[in-house]
Amino acid sequence: MEGPVAIILAAGHGKRMKSEKAKVLHEVCGQPMIHYVVEAARGAGARTIVVVVGFGADQVREALGGEPDVVFATQTRQLGTGDAVKACHDILKDYRGPAMVLVGDEPLVRPGPLADLIARHTQEKDACLLGTAVVPDPTGFGRVLRDSAGRFLRIVEERDCNPQEKAIREVNPSCYVFDLPGLWDALDQLNTSNAQGEYYLTDAPTLLQSMGRKVVALPVLEPDDILGVNARQHLAQAHAIMQARIQDHWMSEGVSIVDPRNTYIDGRARIGRDTVILPFTVITGSVSIGLDCKVGPFSHLREGTVLGDGVEVGAFVEVNRSQMETGARARHLAYLGDAHVGANANIGATAVTANFNGRTKGETRIGAGAQIGSGAILVAPVSVGDGATVGANAVVTSGRDVPGATTVVGVPARPLKPKAR
Ligand code: UD1
Ligand code: CA
């Protein structure tokens, strides 16, 4: 087993989400929460990532399927976070070295602080490093107790806190680095004498200390990194913070976002320099936008869409699984689905590619420099040649391809006859 190792706890139901879905699969900016935690662990140097699954195990496995460094451990009954880590014993029993333990419901965790903890472990080989955070509002978190000299004493769960402990603002975000195999000794000694009757992982650091091993709590995490998603309200908060990060990234890369609060950009989208995103634009899925494009207001770009450089997509235009080459324009009220639009082609207002016949999806090809008139309907599969013109309100029927540099009009669309003299 290659280290460093990360263990991500993801077996819980998340009752407060009131959902049939495993909590860690709820999405933040287009991807399941667990995805971000896996990325953070990887970013911090984890070579093997063990995800503990239980409730909705098959869904979680499927969501993370195909990630070569991810393996799964099954926790049959959700007896607490300590028990969840124990479920990794069989997989990790021969491993010696650092294991980060993270939770799958904190999607905002970033790799930097985790990498710092791993770096410190490499030097000091402490039995447990606890990453902590000092937050304005500690509600919902376990509190970190220290002695008068500031040394770590223990973690007290909120439900088990007395009023003084409740006032402590240094919290446990569940970002640990444990030295293996030492952790297994502590897990063997956990008991369930607490308010929830569960095996608490939070008792492990104190147990290690009582065995004479070194435990250090370091306040390396930021309040924004540790938001735990336990209810839908937290999901919305996580989404807002993640969205701000995504937009901040693209603005740093030279993209203008005119109204960040009224713009949504999926974490998988890619956007080129000097592109301007106008208000109420929604970009979902893996979308790629070139340099110097103008998108919005009120545009919806969906999965698989690729815009070349200098493309314009305007008000109430939806582009789905489509490609628009350099300089192509769809400025108002159009739907492009499974379409390929050539360079400098113009799509008129309310023009539509009818890509679904009720059973199958078909493709539409629109050539370079083609002019698609207002209200035109292109019934897929169909192609319009380079430089061709489709008249306003024409219906180009499936298979009746329009040759290059010709004009078609009417319903169904026919070549425009030269005017009689
Ligand atoms: C836990 C910590 C608390 C910390 C908080 C935020 C414990 C006892 N408490 O509380 O100190 O402040 O996280 O990080 O650890 N899980 C399992 N199997 C289980 C139970 C939980 O896999 O049997 C998983 C859940 O899916 C979840 C994670 O562990 O991803 C944390 O569980 P959760 O119930 O959310 O713990 P908190 O009450 O938030
Ligand atoms: Ca939690």
CA 81 to ligand 1 center in whole angstroms: 6
Residue whose CB lies within 8 A of the most ligand 1 atoms, among 38, 59, 81, for a mutation test: 81
Cβ atoms < 10 Å from Cβ of 80: 23
Q: Which residues contact 20 (CB under 8 A, 6 or more apart)?
A: none
Q: Specify burial of residue 93 (Cβ count, 10 A radius: 0-12, 13-18, 19+).
A: exposed
What is the per-residue pLDDT for 268? 97
pLDDT in tens, 118-150: 999 999 999 999 999 999 999 999 999 999 999
Residue 176 Cα to ligand 2 midpoint, Å, equals 14
- Is 332 marked active-site? yes
Q: What is the mean pLDDT of residues 258-283?
A: 98
**What residue owns the CA closest to ligand 1's atom 16?**
12
Does residue 421 register a pLDDT over 70? Answer: no
- Asked if the model's pLDDT at residue 65 lies above 90, the reply is no
Mean pLDDT value of segment 220-245? 97
Tens of pLDDT, residue by residue over 19-60, are: 999 999 999 999 999 999 999 999 999 999 999 999 999 999
Catalytic member of 26, 35, 249, 332: 332
Nearest to 188 by CA among 89, 74, 77, 97: 89
* Amino acid 420: pLDDT: 66
Give yes or no for residue 3 having a pLDDT over 90.
no
76, two tokens? 């049959």
Residue 402 pLDDT more than 70? yes
Residue 417 has pLDDT above 90, yes or no: no
Q: How far is CA 410 from CA 112, 287, 330, 399, in A?
A: 61, 34, 21, 16
Ligand 1 contacts (CB < 6 A) are: 9-12, 23-24, 52, 54, 75, 78-81, 83-84, 103-106, 141-142, 155, 157, 171-174, 200-202, 228, 230
Question: Which pLDDT score is estimated for 2?
Answer: 87
**80: confidence class by pLDDT, cuts 50, 70, 90:** very high
Ligand with smallest separation from the Cα of 157: 1
Task: State the average pLDDT over residues 58-85.
Answer: 96
Tell me what pLDDT residue 182 has.
97
User: Which tokens belong to 373?
Assistant: 């008139």
In tens, the pLDDT along 323-372 reads 999 999 999 999 999 999 999 999 999 999 999 999 999 999 999 999 99
The pTM score is: 0.94
- pLDDT of 20 reads 93
Please give the C-alpha separations between residue 203 and each of 109, 146, 178, in angstroms, as whole numbers.
22, 14, 13
Ligand 1, residues 7, 26, 134, 174: which to mutate, most atoms within 8 A of Cβ?
174
Split at pLDDT 50, 70, 90, the class of 197 is: very high
pLDDT (average), residues 174-197: 96
Q: How many angstroms does the Cα of residue 82 sit away from the middle of ligand 1?
A: 9
For residue 106, the ligand 1 atom closest to its alpha carbon is: 14
